[in-house]
Structure 1
């Protein structure tokens, strides 16, 4: 028996397997972390879907394949182009040029594309497009179910629609499905050619085309000629030349990145080296335990004593907004407008009806505070119920009809 064994100290051969197991465990942990980071980077850098909103070949809820098929069933030839040069060459006096908001084109490219067309329909728009067309500007609020209310013959049999966005028409521009303060559809015949603008991101999508008079409105806008040239904007067909700006990586000297990596490796090695010197964690009882309910009731009593209804209402809104964001699949710190829009889409109610509830003026007395709390609770219950309700796929809905 050796002196080491007689003294009770483990031999080197006995300590080595333990150290080897510890190193192997740390290596496995590092590999797992690297794999998780790699997967997260790949997922976050994944490109968007092949077809975007109101794409005539898109089969998802935001696509417009159903609208394109309805046009074909009515005898209208739908010619789809993803190149503005091909779309311009295909346009003649007897066709209708259709496109969503051409956010990838400059004003000059858009004017060149529209030049040979007698009829142009924009299925979605932006403030910049409205300014470029000089057709009007955005108007606040949304509309309940309204009829055309204008002299355009095509809209006589449309029925009612529920618009998500309104526009204030410019001078000599006719507004339909609204009034002088705001209309859902703008018709511009000032230059001899007709230009129509509508926010149809929801009206004409596969998910909502069958509601109200949406399909009839689409046919009234696009079905007046025997042929439709549908241009689909994309970044691959953009003429906007971006200018590269200086970034932190371009301004950093080349030796900084290797130095940072070396410091990270040194930190990991130091953590492994020093971490083996510590024993197991020891649980220590805290001297004082305060329940969360006691803290909540204490803050509530202070607020009630101060008669600060506005502060209490702000706390109620903050909590309701965070819970709604979680149930709607939004970020935890999503703004009130984002939560209101998502809740409106989920409950299928006009946008703008929930902005006042989540971001409007705060109550000044206890009665208004109680009413606000009740309405917030009803909104959360409605969203919770809608998340548990089974969703019917558009293809199944078509099968039932």
Structure 2
């Protein structure tokens, strides 16, 4: 804690000056401003933002309790200590009820200022800690609410899970209102079938005690939704107490990817009907794809073929010719070369290979498609 600014209000100017001097001696961090009345104190508050107010009770015009009520109207959390020569349980009770942070009766001697300094220090420390906590919570709430992903805070209970909090994106992605989620178990909020899918993932996260990622399809009021999810455990005192579930709606992307997979499967089936070997390479001459005949002839699988230099499929004495042919096709767009493919049996089969360049969506060369046909003189 840095410097501590204190506003001391007392109509006894001599006592106010003495109190300010003694407090500043007790703690070098203290900076005390004095006011001779509650009215003057309220005026000072417009320009001076103290960390604590110390006020007398009996003052002309506005007394200490009325001053407290006026302060609380604008500063609900600011530490306010009633430091008064008039003491009674009734005044103390009224002060605490009105929102005073503390109550201290004036006494003779300087020991009371040691006590007052301690009370101020404790009140200000607590005030700043609570203020920082409020600000942290507000920042967290802002991040939570404005996240692009749907966010759920899930309590881990002894016999299951319960939704504690959600942001507006959850409602957007699911069509479920906050009242339909918060305070509910997955079964209550999502139905038995959906709940089985999410509860299984939640339990896995709790057991593994680390973030897990998964894709799940759920049926919501907005329809069937594919969620891409990250679930992270919050661990306190060695126990998983809560889960943070972050998810987004990938339904459209999933549909596009599924359509692309189906289209690729159709194309693959068409290529597999060819009796001739077909290869697809990148611009470096490494295999990206082969049809069934090419795999059968060379003894490769799709997994072992991908990444293999196409030159490895030919005898050593023909590899330079194949390299030149690949370069020529990439440069001119097409070429033809006759070469002997090394078969799985160890034999060689001559083919006339016709290579055509492939382009990407920006019309840049992306690789080659190479089709082998029986050599004219074979």
TM-score, length-scaled by structure 1: 0.22
TM-score, length-scaled by structure 2: 0.23
Higher strand share: 2
Larger relative contact order (CA 8 Å, sep ≥ 6): 1
